[in-house]
Amino acid sequence: MEKPEVFDFEKLITAGEVDCACGQKHSTEIKILAVGRGVIEELPGALKKLNVRRPMIVSGPFSFEAVGKKVCETLDKAGIVYSVFVFQRNGSKKIQPNEKAVAEIVKNFDRACDVLLCVGSGSVGDVCKAAATELNVPQLTVGSAPSMDGYTSASASLELNNTKATVSVNAPEGVICDVELMAQAPMRLLWAGLGDMAAKTCSLCEWEMASVIMGEHYCPDTADLVKLCCKRSLSGAPGIPERSLDSVQAVIEGLLLSGVCMSYVNSSRPASGLEHYFSHCWEMMAIARGQEYDLHGIYVGIGAVITLSIFKKLRQLRPDRAHAEKAAAAFDRDAWEARLRSVFKGTAESFIALEDTLQKNDGKKRMQRVDRILENWDKLVKIMEKAPDPDELEATLKRSGMPTRASEIGLCADDVADAFVCSRDTRDKYLTSSLIWDIGYMDEFEAFVKELA
């Protein structure tokens, strides 16, 4: 497990603005990124560097036990005064990242404090980001698990109005990830981090495909960096069952740098594509059914295996204009609305309304995209060929012990089909499912993904 020089975080984040060959200037707002064994000791120095004196620790009950107490100890030893807010234990249930949780932090925030010190990972991190933004205080995060790549991001995934939404927030100014503490996280959270990184095997291709079809900005250098992150994280898979510190470090380094890459290009494109939409859809479907949903990274890992299988099948295809035209003429608006309503219940209305702005179902616009797809088909196939074989990714993930199929986590073939078919309707990103719909092969691929459950 060699460690490339690119993971010199200090160098990366102090590089300032980089003039890139892609035409953009890349930079990151993050000031502190500390990863390694025992780096919790750097916490007092980090607070000083951020020019803050008194932290308000915010944590969940499990993270506080596992990591928060060590944080308190470190602050005590340095003579730093602090306040603490820990979310109440709610049986074995996770913290719901919703407006109520954000309001709870805001209400309990000790106004004598000048920095929000988040101790946690996904959900707690998201509500902390939203609360710190509302309170207008900086945030420093001490990570509790290598479970997702959002530690450094300026967005939070929150449950709003009975659905899951991504909102813009201030990014934390620093992140400290002590791998000795993180290695003790629940095994499912370690798996989730691998799953979130598995996404990059397909998201990078989809990003490049979208640049060909939709003219989106694409940065080859950033893509190369994300590819390295992905390799680094997945190299940790075999050591995860025994919680090897080297493996945990490999996973979290890849996750953190992948987060930095997203801020380089100001877009989630390098790190998130169709595989993430399986996750978004399954979360929203669970909320609509009043059920608990699984971890983001677990869903994403399973979505990545499916997406790579879709690439593999799609590469064999020879799309043609007549077939696409026939599909465009047969588009049934009522059936489309009905499907969204049956899958997402009340939330469907916002997706239906989104169509007024996007007009992606408009026949003329669809055929314009089809023409670009057909003109560039060989190029698109070449891009998809850069992705690994689904079996290869699945075998790597399996070595960590994590689930790789939807059926292993209680999802059925219809759940996979619904998420696939509706993925293109939930946001404004052009996905591989959008392409498949455009060229008129949705039914064939729906049947195909069902088989993969």
- Give least dist CB 203 to Zn ion, A: 9
Q: Which residue, 22 or 358, is less far from Zn ion as judged by CB?
A: 22
Residue 121 tokens read as 């990972």
Q: Which residue, 196 or 415, is less far from Zn ion as judged by CB?
A: 196
Q: Which residue, 20 or 413, is less far from Zn ion as judged by CB?
A: 20
> What radius of gyration do the chain's Cα atoms show?
22
Q: Which residue, 24 or 155, is less far from Zn ion as judged by CB?
A: 24
Q: Which of 20, 39, 103, 106 binds Zn ion (CB under 5 A)?
A: 20
Phi and psi, residue 135, nearest 5°: -80, -15
With contacts defined by CB under 5 A, name the span among 34-42, 217-225, 248-256, 331-339 that binds Zn ion. 217-225
With contacts defined by CB under 5 A, name the span among 15-23, 306-314, 341-349, 398-406 that binds Zn ion. 15-23
**CA-based torsion, 242, 243, 247, 252: positive or negative:** positive
281 vs 434: CA distance, rounded Å = 15
Residue 139 tokens read as 């945030």
Cα 12 off chain centre by:
21
Q: Which residue, 55 or 150, is less far from Zn ion as judged by CB?
A: 150
- Give least dist CB 409 to Zn ion, A: 16
Provide the 8-state DSSP code for 98: B
DSSP string, 312-374: HHHHT----HHHHHHHHHT--HHHHHHHHHHHHGGGHHHHHHHHHHH-TT-HHHHHHHHHHHH
Q: Which residue, 6 or 72, is less far from Zn ion as judged by CB?
A: 6
Q: Which of 126, 173, 196, 425 binds Zn ion (CB under 5 A)?
A: 196
Q: Which of 22, 80, 212, 317 binds Zn ion (CB under 5 A)?
A: 22
- Give least dist CB 79 to Zn ion, A: 38
Q: Which residue, 113 or 219, is less far from Zn ion as judged by CB?
A: 219
Q: Which residue, 55 or 259, is less far from Zn ion as judged by CB?
A: 259
Which residue type is seen at 325?
E
315-336 b/e (C-beta count within 10 Å ≥ 16 → b): eeeebeeeebeebbeeeeeeeb
Q: How many beta carbons lie within 10 A of that of residue 428, not counting itself?
A: 9
Q: Is 216 in the site for Zn ion (CB under 5 A)?
A: no
- Give least dist CB 429 to Zn ion, A: 13
- Give least dist CB 297 to Zn ion, A: 7
- Give least dist CB 425 to Zn ion, A: 20
Secondary structure (3-state) at 142: strand
Q: Which residue, 24 or 263, is less far from Zn ion as judged by CB?
A: 24
| Residues near Zn ion (CB under 5 A), total | 6
Report whether 206 contacts 431 (CB < 8 A).
Answer: yes
Q: Which of 43, 116, 219, 240 binds Zn ion (CB under 5 A)?
A: 219
Residue 333 tokens read as 């608006």
With contacts defined by CB under 5 A, name the span among 214-222, 302-310, 344-352, 410-418 that binds Zn ion. 214-222
- Give least dist CB 276 to Zn ion, A: 6
Kindly write out the interface string for residues 37-76 of this chain, putting x where it contacts Zn ion by CB under 5 A and - elsewhere.
----------------------------------------
Of residues 354, 358, 357, 352, the one with CA closest to residue 333: 352
Of residues 261, 279, 81, the one with CA closest to residue 166: 279
Name the residues that contact Zn ion, by CB under 5 A. 20, 22, 24, 196, 219, 221
